[in-house]
Amino acid sequence: DVKTAFLHGDLDKEIYMQQPEGFVVPGKEHMVCKLSRSLYGLKQAPRQWYKKFDSFMTKSGFCKAEKFLVVTSRNTLIIVFLVLYVDDM
């Protein structure tokens, strides 16, 4: 489980939001906040986190399998199967 995973996704376009309740700056109630990171509730939050995760795994030397396959081996090669499930509950 990756705690606060969706908060670590980088945004690829500018997104603005109303000031959160209780955060309003006196005299600037009409202004909005520009997000610098992904936020829970954004429709693109899961995708942005996945893109960051995918980039990390690729840079770490892992590659994707196009289809599921069963691999058997009798040598010392280490095989890693990674299953990723997203649940923002």
- Going from N- to C-terminal start, the domains of the chain cover 1-89
Residue type, 70: V
What pLDDT, on a 0 to 100 scale, did the predictor assign at position 34?
A: 92
Q: What is the pLDDT of residues 6-61, one digit of tens each?
A: 888 888 899 999 888 888 788 888 899 899 888 888 888 888 888 888 899 889 88
Q: Which band of pLDDT confidence, cut at 50, 70 and 90, is reported for residue 89? A: low
Look at residue 64 and tell me whether its pLDDT is greater than 60: yes
CA distances (Å), origin 50, targets 7, 8, 45, 57? 11, 10, 9, 10
Q: Which band of pLDDT confidence, cut at 50, 70 and 90, is reported for residue 65? A: confident
Q: Which band of pLDDT confidence, cut at 50, 70 and 90, is reported for residue 68? A: low
